[in-house]
Every structure is written in C-alpha cells, then in structure tokens.
Structure 1
Amino acid sequence: MLDCLDIHTMLAAAWNTDFSPLVRSYWKAGVINFIWKIWDCRNQVTFNEASFHPKLILGFLKVVFKEMDSNFPKLGRSHNSWQDYLVLRRIGVAMRAFAPPLMIEVHWWPPAGQWIKVNTDGSALGKPGSIAAGGVFRDNWGAVRGCYHYKGGSGFTFEAELFAIMHAVRIANFRGWHWLWIEADSSYVVQLLHSRSLNVPWRFLPLWKQTLNWLSNFRLQISHIFREGNSVADIMANHARIEGWWPFAIEDIKIAVSLDMATHSRVRLKN
C-alpha cells in the first residue's frame, strides 16, 4: 500500500512534468484518480470482501479520460510531436495541436493628392481611469502636418478613443483640412463614424453632435487599422508631457513616423 511519502512524491512529479498542456491535464488527472481508485479498491477489498483486478483501475481511468475529453477546449493543446501522439493514442484521446500563428502584414499608407490622413488613439490608465487622446496628421508625402495630445478626465478606453476622434475633427475643421481620412485601431469609433450614431456617453453627446455637424462639410474616408500600424497615434495618446497641439512632429514620434514611411508594414500575429 502507498504511504503518504509515496503519494506526495507522485503528486509532486505530476505537477512538475514537462508535457504539453493537453497531455499534462490528462497526466495530472490520471495520477490523482489512480491514487484515489487504489484507495477505493483497498477499502472495498478490506471492508466489503470484494475482489480486485488491475482492469478495474484501467476501466475507471478510461471513463475519467472520456469525460475529460468532452470538456475540451479547457484542457489545452498538444504539441506537434510523436511523443504526444503516442501518449494520447494510448489513452484514446485525439491530438489537438496548436495551430501555427497567422501572420498578418499591417500597412500604414499615406493619403493621396490633397487628402490629409489622421491616425488617432486613446488611452485609459485604469477601468475607469485618467483618459487621454492623441493623433497625428500627415499629408500625401507622409510628412507630419501636426499632432496633438489632450486629457479628458476619468473614463474608459472606448471613451478615450471617442475623445481622440472628436479632437481630430475639431482640429481638421479649424485648419480647413476638409478632405480628411480618419484611421483608428478602435472598431468602436470606426463603427460610430460610419453609422453617425448618437449612442455615445452623455457627457460627450454635445461635442459629438458638433463633430457630426462639422463632418457634413467634409470629404471623408474612414478606416480601421490594427494597433501595430497605429504606433504614432499610440505614442501621442500616451504622451507624458503637457497637453496641446503641435504643428510639427514632436521628437517622441519622429522614429515611428520614419518607420511608417520606410517599411509601410508591420507584422501582427493572430492565433
């Protein structure tokens, strides 16, 4: 019969194995249920004069593994290895290997002709927390026409994203940039702009209505970009210095602007 030291050793070994997540789940469950079933069989033999055969334990473990199999994907994935295949095949479980990550090439493109492109982003230091908005305006050469950073009190990330868009439109209207291409990494604000919805937080509703009124005089393009291609706006949204508007590229964003123009692309990994 196993003593406590043996059981502790087995449990420690089960928790320190270097298996794939899927095999590790079955291994841990197998060790725990194996120990419990031996104890149960011992009690049945001792107190109920039952017979014992190792097949009882094997049959019990098969039932446990079958029930676990129905709870996938909580158990994790297997490695693409011969070892995993042999282990899982032995216990009657199919391999569920990690799919290779999908690489998406993310491009930042300058606008054409007289269009001005603004990339916007928002940040929130908490849920809720202090929110801030940032954005960068560029022309068809990729040259920075201006950038901004403004704080907006306390709120959530989606409010910061909305705050950034409203400032972008306000600045563009004041500057006379009425051929405007707005690009953001927030699907929320992109959808709001496309739909002209008034379903926004009430404290932003007056300025949002004014924003939509300004946009009625614009030639407008709207696009979503993954955050990997929106780094200049992200830098401005997280700008730690004073808030305001700069009619040039501040030092913090010069490298990111150069990378946008040098490569036009970054890679996004999507599992």
Structure 2
Amino acid sequence: MPTYDRLIRYGMITPNICLLCLKDSENQDHLFWNCERVKEIWVTFLGWFNFTQGMHANDIHSLLVKAWQYELSPLAGNFWKAGIITVIWAIWTQRNNCIFDNQKFEARRVIQTVKVAFKDIDVNFSKLGYMWNSWSDYLILRAVGVATRSAPPPEFVEVHWWPPVAPWIKVNTDGSAMEAPGNIAAGRVFHDNWNVVRGCFHFKGGSGYAFEAELLAIISAIQIANRCGWHKLWIEADSTYVVSLLNSRSSAVPWRFKASWNNILEMLEGFSLQVTHIFREGNKAADIMANQKRLEGWWPHEIEEIKAAVRLDMASHSHLRLKC
C-alpha cells in the first residue's frame, strides 16, 4: 500500500507523519499495527476472539502469520479471517478520509465497520459452517454479534456383511498402501453360504498406490477362484474404483496391470459374477488380511488374526459408519 514512506522512496515530496497519532512516521507496520490509535482497535478485535497471543506480535506480518494458524470452528474461523481483512481495510479507508476529506480518525468507526460487515456476512452467506458446541465458541460469536449455528448431531448408517447363497462363494477383498506411493499389499477372504472361511490370502505387491493395491486384490482373488473352481463368485470390495471397473468390464487400468487385467476379463466369461461395494467398516476380515505382518501366502482356512471379525460377520453384527 502507498504509505508515506513508500511514496518518499518513489521520489514524491511529502511529509512523513502518521495522521492517526501525529507522533511517528508512517509506514506499513506503524499504520496497521504499532500506532497507538490502531492498537485500540486490535485490542478490541482480538479480544472478541480470545486471541491474546496476537498482542505480542512485533509487526503486522507476524500478526497475520499467527492469526492464520489460530484454530477455530468453521463458523468462527470464517468471521475471524473476514474480520482481520476488514480491520485492515477499514484502517486504510479511515486514514485516507483523514487525508482527502479532512476527517478525524476515530477507532470506534473502524470497530463499527467490522461489526456491520459481520452482520452483512451473517445475513447474506448461509454456508459458513457450524460452531463447535462449546462455551468458548458461543462467547466468541456472541461478542462479534452474529447468530450461532450449532453443529447437527452426527448421523450413522448401519453396515452389514451378508453371506452368499449356496452354491456361491463370496470373496471380500481389500488393498493397503503405507504411503502414496508406498509398499502395497492385498488381502482376500473367501466364504461359503455357512460363513465358513474357505481360504484367505495375503500378498505384497511392491511399491504403488492404494487404488493399485485394491486392483491387485481383485486380480489375485479371481485367479484363486478360477484355480479352485469357484465360478459362481460374489466379489465384495470397499473400493468404488474396482467395483466400477468390474461392473463395466473397463480396461482403463494402469499399464503394469494391463496384461493381468485383460486375462481376468477373459477368464470372467466363464463365471457367474456379482460385484458389490461395502464400506470398510463391514470389510474388517479382508482389511486385517491386507494389513497383517505375516509373510504372504494362502491358507485354506481362517487364521487366528481374522477369527474375531469372522465371528462378528457370522452373527450379522451391525457396524456403524458416520454418515457424510
């Protein structure tokens, strides 16, 4: 902003005096932070939001850095950031009124401008988020004079795992990646209509991404089912990506899986296939298989690590998932 110190550096001849306090020279830090008249405004504004550490900032830049790191609820945070911008804009506007309209600087006008801006935002913008249902958040919003918006109670959906109907075999698959990219692994668990585990598998696939791990789990599951003669196959995965690929028989897969995937699509011509999605909460046994620390391998029975999860599935246990 063209404060007096900058205008002088640009070669303009002008007195360099802060028109707010008439004591010090005007520069950006003085005008927006260090001036004693401006401090009155910041003390009030920061007090509304209980941001006491802000008063220890040395300059306006330091204040802004600290302010943007201040953790508030979505609702209070929106007013916090809008308020900081409005304070700076209102100080600059009042300063220009002193120069061009010969007005007297009054801190209360700046504070009133911020309050009016808050009212306009509150009335005209409905999607400002919710407050944290806490006393501190309530006090902040009451101080700035805006309506409180309590967060709605969380909603949950029930997730169930269901066994297949004889003579179908159901396989639940899952993939995991430690990082992006990182070491990937895949897990699968095969069940019959009595919820007896007909086999489980853990496989490591080198470096890759989570969606590649999910794809690897599907490929290997179909290969195992084909070898075992399980051609009435229900595949259930918690990845909408692989569910969509299988249901559409799409060939849009990463190049390193192209050959295996095309072979799988040909293999599926001899299958009766059902493909469904399940949320992770209901895919616990496969998730355990994907993330376990065992060496990779195939077990023609349930292993100790998945027993508890299998028992919950057998009992049609209801898993709860937070509704988005």
Bin for the TM-score computed over the shorter chain: 0.7 to 0.9
Q: TM-score, normalised by structure 1?
A: 0.82
Corresponding position: 1:177 with 2:223: no
- Give me the whole-angstrom Cα distance separating, in 2, the residues matched to 1:11 and 1:44: 25
State the Cα deviation string for residues 121-175 of structure 1 (Å, max 9, x = none): 0111221111111100011111111000111121111111111001111111101
**Cα deviation, residue 189, structure 1:** 0.6
Question: What SS does structure 2 have at the residue aligned with 1:197?
Answer: coil
**Cα deviation, residue 205, structure 1:** 1.1
**Cα deviation, residue 12, structure 1:** 6.9
| Runs (5+) with no aligned partner, structure 1 | none
Query: Which protein has the larger Cα radius of gyration, Structure 1 or Structure 2?
Result: 2
Q: Tell me what 1:205 maps to.
A: 258
Q: Tell me what 1:264 maps to.
A: 317
Q: Choose the corresponding residue for 1:219, options 243, 256, 272.
A: 272
Corresponding position: 1:134 with 2:187: yes
Q: Choose the corresponding residue for 1:58, options 85, 98, 112.
A: 112
1:1-271 to structure 2, matched below 5 A, reads 7=42, 11=46, 14-16=49-51, 20-23=73-76, 25-26=78-79, 29-30=82-83, 33=86, 37=90, 41=94, 49-51=102-104, 54=108, 57-63=111-117, 66=120, 73=127, 75-78=128-131, 84=138, 87=141, 91=145, 93=146, 95-271=148-324
| Runs (5+) with no aligned partner, structure 2 | 1-35, 53-70
More strand by share: 1
- Give me the whole-angstrom Cα distance separating, in 2, the residues matched to 1:194 and 1:182: 11
Name the amino acid aligned to 1:229.
G
Name the amino acid aligned to 1:251.
E
Change (3 A) 1:30 1:166: closer
Percent identity at matched positions?
53
- Give me the whole-angstrom Cα distance separating, in 1, the residues matched to 2:77 and 2:129: 9
The count of residues paired between Structure 1 and Structure 2 equals 269
Q: Tell me what 2:23 maps to.
A: none
Name the amino acid aligned to 1:190.
V
CA contact (8 A) 2:189 2:200 kept: yes
- Give me the whole-angstrom Cα distance separating, in 2, the residues matched to 1:184 and 1:212: 17
Q: TM-score, normalised by structure 2?
A: 0.70
Question: What SS does structure 1 have at the residue aligned with 2:49?
Answer: helix
Change (3 A) 1:4 1:124: same
- Give me the whole-angstrom Cα distance separating, in 1, the residues matched to 2:302 and 2:140: 59
Between 222-231 and 39-48, report the one with greater CA deviation.
39-48
CA contact (8 A) 1:196 1:212 kept: yes
Highest RCO, 1 vs 2 (Cα 8 Å, sep ≥ 6): 1
- Give me the whole-angstrom Cα distance separating, in 2, the residues matched to 1:42 and 1:65: 24
Question: What SS does structure 1 have at the residue aligned with 2:270?
Answer: coil
Change (3 A) 1:195 1:42: closer
**Cα deviation, residue 230, structure 1:** 0.3
CA contact (8 A) 2:48 2:144 kept: no
Change (3 A) 1:2 1:149: same
- Give me the whole-angstrom Cα distance separating, in 1, the residues matched to 2:250 and 2:72: 51
CA contact (8 A) 1:23 1:88 kept: no
Name the amino acid aligned to 1:62.
V
For the aligned residue pairs, the C-alpha RMSD in angstroms reads 3.6
CA contact (8 A) 1:38 1:57 kept: no
Name the amino acid aligned to 2:311.
S
